[in-house]
Amino acid sequence: MTPTVRIDLARLDANIAAQPGRLRPHVKTHKILEIARRQLAAGAHGLTVATVGEAEVFAEVCDDIFIAYPVWADKRLRDLAGRVRLSVGCDSLAAAERLVGVGAAVLIELDSGHHRSGVPVGELESLATGILDLGLDLRGAFTFPGHSYAPGGQEAAARDEDRALSAAGQILRALGVTDPVLSGGSTPSARYSQVATERRPGVYVFNDAQQLELGTCDWAGIALTVLATVVSRREDLHQIILDAGSKILGSDRPAWASGFGRVKGVPDARITALSEHHGTVAWPAGKSLPQVGEHVAVVPNHVCLVLNLVDEVEVVESGRVTQRWRVAARGRN
Amino acid sequence: MTPTVRIDLARLDANIAAQPGRLRPHVKTHKILEIARRQLAAGAHGLTVATVGEAEVFAEVCDDIFIAYPVWADKRLRDLAGRVRLSVGCDSLAAAERLVGVGAAVLIELDSGHHRSGVPVGELESLATGILDLGLDLRGAFTFPGHSYAPGGQEAAARDEDRALSAAGQILRALGVTDPVLSGGSTPSARYSQVATERRPGVYVFNDAQQLELGTCDWAGIALTVLATVVSRREDLHQIILDAGSKILGSDRPAWASGFGRVKGVPDARITALSEHHGTVAWPAGKSLPQVGEHVAVVPNHVCLVLNLVDEVEVVESGRVTQRWRVAARGRN
């Protein structure tokens, strides 16, 4: 049955081994315990998650977890802090006040140019002082240079990250924080990052069409595809319809992307539209259309969404499906 | 805990009651057995689904199911046809050949202008003849006028649907198909549709930000929201960050939409960006920013994606959560 998610095990392991730096990888990408175990075995010193629900799941395989998110604390967070060494993100005094008594270390989130959550560097000292005054265990600062997701923007985003983390290091040391954690890194910017004391890339384990089009990986670096069946074809439009739509591929499509994903082995094909269960593929001119019933492997635009849409994945070794892994943290918002 | 999906039961029931026409509603929108039961109790003569997996789930509450999709048949489909009165979509002779012996009735899919799956009307007679020659139970034709999802495009799309279904009716009757089913309808075009003998709207049960911006519903018609918490705020950017991102709202955003969803009670707010767990909201100028920790109700752009991202929903009556419903067909790709 298609559509189904397939992981090439040899490529996955190669991607895990090749990632440079001191890593606390972001497991929201895969949500799979078997992959987290491989990352830890390859030297990761802890894991990063996005939500309390994900942390609860990954506590099974790791006792040092960072929730890289400005959490609004509740009883679940306190229970979790009793199970593992927990650190959490914070970017406001209001959220910090709720962390009193929780038992989690705190990293202040910095906005290094992505303009999502995080305080500007100019507000770091004031917030850090407030957090220390509350008696919290302030451990360092983190940032996500998400503006690295733009063609040619990776190195500049890494420089922004470097500047923000350097400034944060000075400010925190001056306030008495010893050897502050300075956590950075996105998959596109990771290779250019110089200041971070730990990096939190996620997508690198699989790569995806966004990384391919940003130049972060090549086709050989793709470890995950969605196997789909051609269910309809139109010679007059020179297009095929796949049974993989937004309910398995996700519908992320940045303005700079060439479409809603790529087709493995057919680099000139373009996924021009997605409905929930239909992927419309403009087939390259001069290349004959596949027949209804044929299989096509799709490289999704943003792989983190894909794993959140399936309960299990097929693991392929030497071209054969050898095992299935459960997506243990699927839906743990 | 947020984010969480909330359904207003009174509004849901009102939306179900108000939908005109002879209905075979599309349950891929909600994927919830309790809602299908309410649709059937309100007079729906059968259900529409998108996949074999959804049909397997809804067979528990309905014995007349149409898979409105050009299925590529396998053993699961045959097993399903043994459990319920099943009809399936078809738009190629190759797919029709695999339906021989399955025991499902067949409706030919027509392309009435959306240019996704479906044959042009000009190819209907040839395909219908082929299907009849295979000895299959050809019951009629169906189309999805998806091009109704454009500002001002609803009535024109309904006229396209009318023309395609009228022509199909003539052709099928001439080939000896008695009282052919002519199935049409999307939520935006439903009110203009005149020829269809049955309609398959889905979104109408909840409505969403797309319907709001297309003018298909008003704010009072919204039956589903995603409850989110403000986790970060920036006075300098006059923006807030919600803990609802693409992993609960979905990231569908047509070019004509004002953003990635709407904020209930704050019509001038704009959701300018979504990450997986962050929703960035540009707050209206002159209106004071909510505080971190406050709750905000988001109206998602495309509600069908939302239900596929959660395992259960909260049902609200008179402002209180009174029950939880399981999303029984979540992930049934």
pLDDT tens digits along A140-150: 999 999 999 99
Residue B92 has pLDDT above 90, yes or no: yes
Q: What's the average model confidence in pLDDT over A316-331?
A: 97
Give the other-Cβ count within 10 Å of B320's Cβ.
8
Residue B192 amino acid letter: Y
Digit-coded pLDDT (tens) for B35-60: 999 999 999 999 999 999 999 999 99
pLDDT at residue B306 is higher than 90: yes
Q: Quick check: A72 and B292 CB within 8 A?
A: yes
Residue B311 has pLDDT above 90, yes or no: yes
**Average pLDDT along chain A:** 97
pLDDT band at B214 (very low <50, low <70, confident <90, very high): very high
Whether pLDDT at A265 is above 90: yes
pLDDT digits (tens, 9 = 90+) for A74-108: 999 999 999 999 999 999 999 999 999 999 999 99
Contact A122, A154 (CB under 8 A): no
pLDDT of the residue at A1: 86
- Residues A30 and A16: their CA atoms lie apart, in Å, by 12
Chain B environment of A276 (Cβ under 8 Å)? 28, 50, 304-305, 308
Q: In this predicted structure, what is the pLDDT of residue A191?
A: 87
B chain contacts of residue A310, beta-carbon cutoff 8 Å:
331, 333
Calculate mean pLDDT across residues A26-52: 98
The pLDDT of residue B170: 98
Partner residue opposite B310 with nearest CB, options A243, A305, A331: A331
DSSP string, A197-232: SEE---GGGT--HHHHHHTSS-GGG--EEEEEEEEE
Evaluate if residue B191 carries a pLDDT over 90: no
Residues A20-27 have a mean pLDDT of 95
Query: Does 3.50.50.60 match the CATH number of domain B63-200?
Result: no
A280:B309 CB<8 A: no
Instruction: Please list every residue in chain B whose beta carbon sits closer than 8 Å to the beta carbon of residue A232.
Output: 70, 91-92, 109, 116-118
Mean pLDDT in residue range A213-223: 97
Query: Which residue is closest to A111 within chain B, CA to CA?
Result: B234
The amino acid present at B8, given as its one-letter code, is D
| Residue that the structure tokens 């403009």 belong to | A282
Domain spans, chain B: 63-200, 219-326
The percentage of residues in chain A with a pLDDT greater than 90, rounded to a whole number, is 98
Side-chain half-sphere CA neighbours of B49 within 13 A:
28
Tokens 């006229």 — which residue?
B159
- Locate B45 and state its tokens: 């003569």
Fold entry, domain A219-326 = Lyase, Ornithine Decarboxylase; Chain A, domain 1 (2.40.37)
Grade residue A239 by pLDDT with cuts at 50, 70 and 90: very high
Taking contacts as CB-CB distances below 8 angstroms, the residues of chain A near B304 are 276
Residue B308 has pLDDT above 90, yes or no: yes
- A139, A130 Cβ separation under 8 angstroms: no
Question: CB–CB of A164/A110 below 8 Å?
Answer: yes
Residues of A in contact with B232 (CB under 8 A): 70, 91-92, 109, 116-118
Length of chain A: 333
pLDDT of residue A190: 87
- Relative to beta strand A198-199, strand A181-184 is parallel
List of chain B residues whose C-beta atoms are within 8 Å of the C-beta of residue A91: 232
For B275, which of A71, A92, A116 is closest by C-beta distance?
A116
Residue A291 burial by Cβ neighbours in a 10 Å radius (0-12, 13-18, 19+): exposed
> Rounded to whole angstroms, how far apart are CA atoms B288 and A162?
34
Residue B1 is predicted with a pLDDT of 87
Tens digit of pLDDT for each residue in A293-320?
Answer: 999 999 999 999 999 999 999 999 999 9
**Residue A185 pLDDT > 90:** no
| Res. B190: pLDDT tops 90 | no
Q: pLDDT of B9-26, one tens digit each?
A: 999 999 999 999 999 999
Cβ–Cβ of A277/B69 closer than 8 Å?
Answer: yes
Residue contact B116–A278, C-beta within 8 A:
yes
Return the closest-CA partner of residue B73 out of B51, B58, B56.
Answer: B51
B247 vs A275: CB contact, 8 Å cut-off? no
ipTM of the complex: 0.96
Taking CB atoms and an 8 Å limit, are B247 and A278 in contact across chains? no
Question: Within chain A, how many helices (H) and strands (E) appear?
Answer: 10, 16
| Contact by Cβ (8 Å): A276, B50 | yes
